[in-house]
């Protein structure tokens, strides 16, 4: 059953949710939107276009271990955008196929997700699949006039809807807001794969001249999940096996014992990033490892734009 959430009830609902969950939500931090622990419900910003780090990084943060999942209060991500919902759903597949990863699953089951619809950042190239994604979270808030239409996607979502802050829908209240049109670039999967397989294209050399090899693009990407293993030892605790986020754009990522390196040049590492996202992940999961959020382009210090690069590769 769907219900209506008036804008004015949102902070009240969040305050109620805070009694049961640790709530994370988008908030203004300086000039950026940060998706982080919410202390004051009135500070929530659902009208944002892009958070600096994706909410997926709250599920698999820059450092985590199997101990990360133990004795935790349930965590609720409030206001996850469609592209980020898409990414979290994809991560759920990656960490369950072909091999189930119990560390990820134990962390993930502690998260409740409330999605929200809002016009995305103007440069994002998210594919239009709103209807499908609305059912891929516990509760989805679909923008309508003066509030949101709340659509449960799970039994827990139905429980959340019992709050007095959701109202019964009357036809006068329900008028859909204008929707963003999706972009078709990521739908053209065979063309994308073929284009990226063209290793002789001049773009790879051009990008190698520009790219700083800093790895920021992969640290902000909701679908970059590679990690290094590290053992943390203290005098008082048993050793912990940590997973620390890493980036295949870094030279150290490809280093092996004896001083050899599988990808010593930036050109090889830059190409590998695209190859993994648009060839290997397509082969493994039938879908590119990119949801078109545009974070990598927004935060690249060298001004490298993934959308422009993919368009150029496809055109030539």
The answer, yes or no, to whether the previous bond of 98 is cis (omega within 30 of 0) is: yes
- Restricting to residues 143-182, which ones interact with ligand SF4 according to CB under 6 A? none
Q: Which one among 80, 150, 151, 300 touches ligand SF4, defined by CB under 6 A? A: 300
> What's the min distance (Å) between Cβ of 267 and ligand SF4?
11
DSSP 279: I
Please tell me whether residue 214 binds ligand SF4 under the rule CB under 6 A: yes
Q: What gap in Å lies between CA 164 and CA 161, rounded to an integer?
A: 8
> What's the min distance (Å) between Cβ of 25 and ligand SF4?
20
Instruction: Give the CB-side neighbour count of residue 115, counting CA atoms within 13 A.
Output: 27
Nearer to ligand SF4 by Cβ, of 40 and 262: the residue is 262
Nearer to ligand SF4 by Cβ, of 149 and 207: the residue is 207
> What's the min distance (Å) between Cβ of 131 and ligand SF4?
21
Residue 180's nearest CA partner among 136, 239, 125 is 125
Q: Which one among 23, 221, 245, 263 touches ligand SF4, defined by CB under 6 A? A: 221
Please tell me whether residue 222 binds ligand SF4 under the rule CB under 6 A: yes
Q: Which one among 23, 85, 114, 223 touches ligand SF4, defined by CB under 6 A? A: 223
DSSP 276: I
Please tell me whether residue 133 binds ligand SF4 under the rule CB under 6 A: no
Q: Using CB under 6 A as the criterion, what x/- string covers residues 50-89 for binding ligand SF4?
A: ----------------------------------------
Only one of the segments 9-17, 138-146, 188-196, 221-229 lies at the binding site for ligand SF4 (rule: CB under 6 A); that segment is 221-229
Nearer to ligand SF4 by Cβ, of 156 and 302: the residue is 302
Only one of the segments 16-24, 90-98, 136-144, 289-297 lies at the binding site for ligand SF4 (rule: CB under 6 A); that segment is 289-297
Contact at 8 Å (CB) between 217 and 298?
A: no
Nearer to ligand SF4 by Cβ, of 120 and 294: the residue is 294
Q: Which one among 82, 88, 263, 290 touches ligand SF4, defined by CB under 6 A? A: 290
Other beta carbons within 10 Å of 112: 22
Question: Could you give the residue ranges of the DSSP H alpha helices within the chain?
Answer: 10-18, 56-59, 82-94, 102-108, 130-134, 155-160, 189-197, 203-210, 216-220, 266-275, 281-285, 295-299, 306-315
Contact at 8 Å (CB) between 192 and 186?
A: yes
Residue 198's nearest CA partner among 264, 279, 303 is 279
Q: Which one among 296, 309, 310, 313 touches ligand SF4, defined by CB under 6 A? A: 296
Other beta carbons within 10 Å of 268: 17
Nearer to ligand SF4 by Cβ, of 44 and 82: the residue is 82
Contact at 8 Å (CB) between 114 and 140?
A: yes
- Restricting to residues 233-252, which ones interact with ligand SF4 according to CB under 6 A? 249
Contact at 8 Å (CB) between 301 and 212?
A: yes
Instruction: Tell the residue number behind the tokens 């979502």, with chain if given.
Output: 157
- Footprint of ligand SF4 (CB under 6 A): 211-217, 220-223, 249, 277, 290-296, 300-302, 304, 306
């Amino acid at each position: 059953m769907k219900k209506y959430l008036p804008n004015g009830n949102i902070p009240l609902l969040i305050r109620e949710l805070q009694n049961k969950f640790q709530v994370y939500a988008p908030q203004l931090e300086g000039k950026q939107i940060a998706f982080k622990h919410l202390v004051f419900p009135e500070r929530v910003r659902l009208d944002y276009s892009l958070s600096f780090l994706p909410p997926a990084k709250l599920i698999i943060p820059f450092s985590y271990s199997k101990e990360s999942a133990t004795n935790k209060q349930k965590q609720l991500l409030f206001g996850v955008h469609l592209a980020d919902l898409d990414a979290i759903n994809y991560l759920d597949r990656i960490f369950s196929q072909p091999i189930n990863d119990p560390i990820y699953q134990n962390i993930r089951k502690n998260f409740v997700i409330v999605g929200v619809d809002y016009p995305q950042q103007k440069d994002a190239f998210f594919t239009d699949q709103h209807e499908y994604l609305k059912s891929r979270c516990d509760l989805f808030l679909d923008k309508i006039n003066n509030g949101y239409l709340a659509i449960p996607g799970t039994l827990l979502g139905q429980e959340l809807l019992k709050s007095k802050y959701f109202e019964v829908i009357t036809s006068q209240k329900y008028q859909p807001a204008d929707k963003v049109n999706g972009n078709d670039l990521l739908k053209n999967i065979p063309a994308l794969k073929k284009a990226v397989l063209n290793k002789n294209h001049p773009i790879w050399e051009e990008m190698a001249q520009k790219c700083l090899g800093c790895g920021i693009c992969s640290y902000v990407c909701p679908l970059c999940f590679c990690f290094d293993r590290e053992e943390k030892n203290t005098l008082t605790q048993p050793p912990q096996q940590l997973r620390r986020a890493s980036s295949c754009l870094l030279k150290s990522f490809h280093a092996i014992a004896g001083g050899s390196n599988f990808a010593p040049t930036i050109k090889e590492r830059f190409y590998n990033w695209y190859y993994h996202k648009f060839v290997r992940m397509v082969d493994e999961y039938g879908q590119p490892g990119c949801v078109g959020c545009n974070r990598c382009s927004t935060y690249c210090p060298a001004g490298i734009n993934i959308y422009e690069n993919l368009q150029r590769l496809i055109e030539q």
